[in-house]
Structure 1
Amino acid sequence: MALVSEFLGQLTLAYGEEKDPKFPTVVPARDFDPVRDATRIDAAIKTKGVDEQTLIDILTRRSWEQRKEISFEYERISKKDMAAALKGALSGSLEAVMLGLLKSPAEYDAAELRASMKGLGTDEETLIEIVCSRSTEEMVTIKRIYREMFKKELDKDVAGDTSGNFAKLLLALVQTKRDEPTNVVDYEKIDEDARALYEAGVKRKGTDVGIWITIMSQRSVPHLQKVFERYKSYSPYDMKESIRKEVKGDLEKSFLTLVECFENRQLYFANRLNDAMKSKAAKEKVVTRILVSRCEVDLMKIRTEFKRQHRKSLYQTITEHTKGDYQKALLSLCGGDD
């Protein structure tokens, strides 16, 4: 009996781990030697003119856990903080990539969120991208890290920096009240939610945004995917078209981001990368943020979606739209051509 229960326990564990599988392009390096890496980084920074290639080779091909060990050894060897040393040695887009890689994905997201709200004006684009595209699990970690890093609560900062329905939606997402996915398909609830979305929007004059916010911030992702499918039997428009007709500005962008991420999160990131690189002022910030924050999460899958959607690999697109050491760092994070 003990053997059977142990076996079942292992099955449950294995199944639990599969809940959010990873598709990274950056994985832990084999034969890892943090002292050797730290020594090479120290020499690269001290070299006249800085040896950027060595910094790229090491930092873009180690996992975050390994980079943390390298930072520790670097400080021991050189008596300097590695982030400060890199800041002094590098500049511009390459500096942003290298410093980003010294943070865990959650620390990086927390820092990006803080930067988007600090000082005058708000960078709504960053706020929308991170808050609307992260899973509940990721958002729970980001909130904890945000509190540890900045001694502030993320929801309070969001509330203080945004207003109206846009603030209500972001706060509802930050509060992470989303249902856990279940194996039971509740067709009655799917129909009820689809009809509620239709009656709160397209069917009436003026939109009852509160109902949209509740449904989209609290229902599980598999449930919502079925709701949007069912929605088409009530509305002459699909959910995205309805959003474009009913709301405008940052609220529209937020709802669209949510729906795109519910449907296919990696495709959303692939399209963001494509738009950012093809825009006149190539939005390096967006490209940097997605590659740094997703390289240990799902960048391999984003690459697949990119090729499928845009008929060109992410690797080729980076090659065409970036240059210099920044390009080399991005291509290394990208992890190969498709």
Structure 2
Amino acid sequence: MEYRGSVRPFVNFNAKHDAEVLHKAMKGIGTDEDTVLMLLTSRSNDQRQQIKAAYKKAYGKDLVSALKSELGGLFESLIVALMTPPVSFDASQLHTALKGSGTDDEVLIEILASRTGEQIKEIIKVYKKEFNGKLEKDICGDTGGHYKKLLVILLQGDREEGVDEEKIEKDAKDLYAAGEGKFGTDEEKFITILGNRSPEHLRKVFEAYKKISGSDIEDSIKSETTGNLESLLVAVVKCARSVPGFFAESLYKSMRRAGTDDDTLMRIMVSRSETDMLDIRASFKKMYKESLYNTIQEDTNGDYQKALLYLCGGND
């Protein structure tokens, strides 16, 4: 498979040397933010972990704590996110979304709809280790109804594989019968089919659905369901169609609403930089006729902006 991330492992990597460079950049009065951001955005996450270890060995202190004491604001949050291993980052985002009063459903929906089964299983393990809790239990305590059911199905990380030709037509008819084809909605059917089938299978089901009903499955979901269940079902459909397309839209919304949603912007730029940022950029350009790079440039500033642009990896 071709590598589709914007951040690649640095070729002549030397963790000890990088640790020294960062130490110098933070020594004395003031910090050389440019050096910090250029170095850390051009290393892979795995390399950043090695730099962290080398730094501790050389200077007897934690690199992340040192960075936190020198940096501030959004730039600090972004650098700390970059220094976090990807699975730990997802787990901590979910933990923050669930703890305290109120739940940040956008985070739950984004992560659980877009991650692979393997990734979700890893997240559950790390969540348990780092927060001493069960992710499923915490989600069940914070959500309810059909929304909770679908989240729990996604948490199993156990979608069917491949395309089952014999089920395509039946699934499409079942979805139609569960929604548009009847008075009221049979949410269970939507949850079972969308939560368990493989993305490839679902794409075929969506085509068949359009032939039967004359409309896209997303439109039917929007007219048949509301609230968090609607948002989660739509996210699952969009991720089945195209994960990069799903993230391109989320990025666009994070910047084109009134005020920038920096939490979402940062979370996606960090978590997708080594996964599919090149595809997200291409989808963004195709969908919105403008480049992700220029949009970030218009919506952010300072070192935070510079670091995001490095993560973007170029202007289309």
Per the normalisation by structure 2, the TM-score is: 0.97
Q: Is the 8 A contact 2:117 2:156 kept in 1?
A: no
Give the aligned partner of residue 56 of structure 2: 75
Q: How does 1:62-211 map to 2 (within 5 A)?
A: 62-181=43-162, 185-211=163-189
Shift of 1:237: 2.4
For residue 6 of structure 2, give the secondary structure of its aligned residue in structure 1. coil
For 1:222 and 1:207, the matched residues in 2 are separated by 25
Question: In the alignment, what sits opposite 1:42?
Answer: 23
Q: Determine the C-alpha separation between the residues in 2 that align with 1:260 and 1:331.
A: 26
Q: 2:289 aligns with which of 311, 319, 322?
A: 311
Distance 2:244 2:294 in 1: 18
User: C-alpha separation between the residues in 1 aligned to 2:199 and 2:146?
Assistant: 22
Q: What is aligned with 2:245? A: 267
Q: 2:9 aligns with which of 28, 35, 38?
A: 28
Q: Is the 8 A contact 2:255 2:261 kept in 1?
A: yes
Inter-partner Cα distance in structure 1 for 2:271 and 2:147: 24
Q: Bigger CA drift: 150-159 or 60-69?
A: 150-159
- In percent, how many aligned pairs have the same letter? 42
| Cα distance between partner residues in 1 of 2:111 and 2:10 | 28
1:234 aligned residue? 212
SS at match of 1:234: helix
What is the rounded CA distance, in whole Å, between the counterparts of 2:3 and 2:139 in structure 1?
29
What's the CA shift for 1:269?
Answer: 0.5
Amino acid at match of 1:175: Q
Q: Give, as a single letter, the amino acid of the residue that structure 2 aligns with 1:216.
A: L
Letter in 1 for 2:84: K
Q: CA deviation at 1:89?
A: 1.4
Q: CA deviation at 1:137?
A: 2.3
CA shift, 1:159, in A, is 0.7
Alignment deviations for residues 166-206 of structure 1 (CA, whole Å, 9 cap, x no partner): 1111111011221122xxx5333101111111111111111
Mapped to 1, the partners of 2:124 and 2:230 lie a distance apart of 24
Out of 148-157 and 162-171, give the one that drifted further.
148-157
Partner of 1:321: 299
Q: Is the partner of 1:121 in helix, strand or coil?
A: coil
In 2, Cα distance between equivalents of 1:298 and 1:104: 17
Name the aligned partner's letter for residue 109 of structure 1: D
| Structure 1 position 148, deviation (Å) | 2.1
Give the aligned residue type for 1:150: F
Cα deviation, 1:29-61, whole Å, max 9, x if unaligned, reads: 011111111111112222422111111011111
Asked if the contact 2:116–2:157 (Cα under 8 Å) also holds between the matched residues in 1, the reply is: no
5+ residue gaps, structure 2, are none
Provide the rounded CA distance (Å) in 1 between the counterparts of 2:173 and 2:238.
20
Query: Does 2:273 correspond to 1:295?
Result: yes
| Aligned position for 1:5 | none
The one-letter code of the counterpart of 1:294 is R
RMSD over aligned CA atoms reads 1.2
Q: How many residues align?
A: 316
- Show the counterpart of 1:282: 260
Deviations 1:259-301 (A, max 9, x none): 1111111011111111111111200111100000000111111
Q: Which residue of 2 aligns with 1:337?
A: 315
Structure 1: any 5+ residue segments left out of the alignment? 1-17
Task: Supply the distance in 1 between the matched residues of 2:62 and 2:287 (Cα, whole angstroms).
Answer: 42
Q: Confirm or deny that 1:52 pairs with 2:50.
A: no
Aligned partners of 2:10, 2:202: CA distance in 1, in Å?
38
Runs of 4+ in 1 over 4 A off after TM superposition: none
Tell me, what secondary structure is at the counterpart of 1:103?
coil
Alpha-carbon contact 1:128-1:257 (below 8 Å) kept: yes
TM-score, normalised relative to structure 1? 0.91
Q: CA deviation at 1:117?
A: 0.5
